[in-house]
Structure 1
Amino acid sequence: MSWRAITYDWSQVRAFLATAEEGSLSAAARALGQTQPTLSRQVTALETQLGVTLFERGPRTMILTESGREMLVHARAMRDSAMKLSFIASGQSEEISGEVSITSTDLFAVHTMPPILRALREEHPNLRIHVLTSNQLQDLTRRDADIAIRHTRPMQAELIGKQVGTIDAYLYAHRSYLDHKGRPETPADLAQLDFIGFEAANVVLPVLSSMGLPASEANLPITTTSGPLYLELVKSGLGISILTRDAVEAVEGMEKVFPDAEPIEVPVWLVTHRELRTSRKIRVVFDAIADGLRKEL
């Protein structure tokens, strides 16, 4: 190879590429963090070295010549190779790898996460996913988890979220409970029945109140923070629950308390820390979960 034939340097090519893609020297200078005169000198030097005119210069714009358009194809290839070299040099291979932690309620994770994680593993085999199944809100501001699936909009300024959909929930009870206590015909009948509390009374009661259903802490003889136990308590005929169709479809004997009632719409939010969103690894996982949940919900 004749090394002496390469008489220009990468900074000149980068100046040309930025000017071509940004459309003007001023815009390219802002993108590269350089001054406009410096950038202009680099472009002119490249034209001199190559012996061609790359731009037709207007008062506000730089228009590529035919030689410039041909050069642009090769400059972009050089840019891509230079980026790969930078990734390797800094230990940041374009391959997505390392650990990402996700927190979700346990019942929701059971019914939605397996196909999403399978697709992620197939696409990025060196990625390690740690799923924290908890019904307590993990503190993303303290980095207890990288990404959270929540059912309320994030309120902290340092968190960013995207609502990816809603899930429909209904009042369910096991046949054995309804056979014993009777099937309510009106909301007023619920005042005499038991509900299984999830996390605490202050989580369930506002939902029931928003539906116009009379209930108080006296209607919640049992509460739990465990999703699987919550489902087992309902299966055992201990009270009425608020559950999604996915959670009960494989459970024999579960009935909707009011078959014709409108669903309780539960929002699904995907949340991460604002700073982490700039991480390519986090962005890839965040977007994959968002796409997967949209298909699942």
Structure 2
Amino acid sequence: MGHGIDALTWEDIRLVGAIAETGSLPEAAARLGTHHSTVFRRLRQVEANTGFPIFEREGQRLAPTGLGEEVVALAERIGTDVNATALRMAGREEQPSGELRVATADSLLIHLLTPIFADFQEACPDVRLDIVVSNRALNLSRRDADIAIRASDAPPETLVGRRLARISWALYGRTGEDGQDTPPMDRRTWVALGDGMADMKVARHAEEHAPPGLLRYRVDTVLGLAAAVEAGLGIGHLPCFIGDGRPHLRRLAPPEPAFATDLWLLTHEDLRRAARVRIFSDFVAGAIRAKAALIEGTGHHR
């Protein structure tokens, strides 16, 4: 290794600059995101490599020595150049544009995501959204879609993403059915999700707990289930963001924790750093957080 100024790396010079600006090892460590003992050890190594002391103590603060001032000046010049270059590069950073294929379920699209997508399009008009509506899991590795927004307790390990919220489910019936002719709960007819969604606990619940002969309608979509309850075909469990949002439905019981599922935003590892994927993911995550009470069933309901 060389001896003198030519032995210093950019990290060494950055360290000297931080100590000079703060006058304190602990404060320099905080600025650099490390421990003050690490800063002390590295400073001793820098001084050993250059062959002269860079700082001396003046009262409670560290001040550069005569030779140290040369290193501090070098740190200031390099820091200025680095910051200027970073700003120029940021100004030329790729702007989000192009097509983004987003897969989601019909119930999420209609009752939750469409207004969010509209706000995103206004904020990022150069990104074209291509929405794929399907209740089956798509293969993002085959580029069936770039992003999937799904309810799942076990997202595929081949995908990366973030959990957006916890979707709560509650039992709903049609409003205005509280008159004398309304049968008691153990004599009401039920509606439920069909065999295509039998892997969900909520779908199995109606099959296992509805009174004998009173499960009279099954359908393979959550939107179809909500329509059935609203039409008076029977009572049934629905996501709270759907049930609470329909004026002709009302809750018959609190949300059932056992039926809750996580809402995920997922993408392929190779796409996660793409500008359009990154900005879309951040935008949707923020919008979903603002609707957490509705999704998790803790907001106002009838």
**By the TM > 0.5 criterion, same fold?**
yes
Q: Return the letter of the residue paired with 1:148.
A: A
Alignment check: 8 A CA contact 2:190 2:236 kept: no
8 Å CA contact retained: 1:181, 1:193: no
Shift of 1:97: 0.2
- TM-superposed CA distance for 1:159, in Å, is 0.9
Instruction: Give the deviation of 1:166 after TM superposition.
Output: 1.1
Moved over 4 A (4+): 15-21, 59-64, 175-181, 208-213, 215-220, 260-264
How does the TM-score come out when normalised to structure 1?
Answer: 0.64
Structure 1 residues 104 and 219, CA, compared in 2 at 3 Å: closer, same or farther?
Answer: farther
Cross-structure match for 1:111: 111
Q: Aligned AA for 2:113?
A: M
After TM superposition, give the deviation of residue 110 of structure 1 in Å.
1.8
Percent identity, aligned pairs only? 22
Residues 197 and 220 of structure 1 are in contact (CA less than 8 Å); yes or no, is this contact kept in structure 2? no
CA RMSD after TM alignment: 3.8
Question: Which residue is 1:160 aligned to?
Answer: 160
Residue 288 of structure 2 corresponds to 293
**Would the aligned equivalents of 2:173 and 2:249 in 1 still touch at CA under 8 Å?**
yes
Counterparts of 1:245-284 in structure 2 under 5 Å?
Answer: 245-258=240-253, 260=254, 262=256, 264-284=259-279
- Give the count of matched residue pairs: 237
SS at the partner of 1:195? strand
Name 1:66's counterpart in structure 2.
73
Quote the offset at 1:269 in angstroms: 1.4
- Give 3-state SS (helix, strand or coil) of 2:168's partner: strand
**Residue 195 of structure 1, aligned match among 185, 191, 194:** 191
Inter-CA distance 83–170: structure 2 relative to 1 (3 Å threshold): closer
Taking the TM superposition and a 5 Å limit, the aligned residue runs for 1:1-297 are 57-59=46-48, 65-81=72-88, 94-175=94-175, 182-184=183-185, 189=186, 193-198=189-194, 200=196, 202-203=198-199, 206-207=201-202, 214-215=209-210, 220-258=215-253, 260=254, 262=256, 264-297=259-292
Structure 2 unmatched runs, 5+: 1-7, 17-44, 55-67, 293-302
Shift of 1:127: 0.7
Structure 1 residues 252 and 71: alpha-carbon distance in aligned structure 2, compared to 1, 3 A threshold: closer
* Match in the other structure for 1:35: none
Deviations 1:87-135 (A, max 9, x none): 6xxxxx6211001111222122222223422332233220111222222
Kindly provide the amino acid, as one letter, of the partner of residue 73 in structure 2: E
SS at match of 2:137: coil
Unaligned runs of 5+ in 1: 1-14, 25-55, 88-92
Shift of 1:170: 0.6
The answer for the alignment partner of 1:42 in structure 2 is none
Instruction: Measure the CA separation in 2 of the matches of 1:178 and 1:168.
Output: 25
State the alpha-carbon separation in 2 of the partners of residues 272 and 219 from structure 1: 42
Which SS does the other structure have where 1:200 is aligned? helix
Which string of whole-angstrom CA distances, capped at 9 and with x for unpartnered residues, describes residues 1-40 of structure 1?
xxxxxxxxxxxxxx9867756x59xxxxxxxxxxxxxxxx
**Structure-2 separation of matches of 1:181 and 1:262:** 24
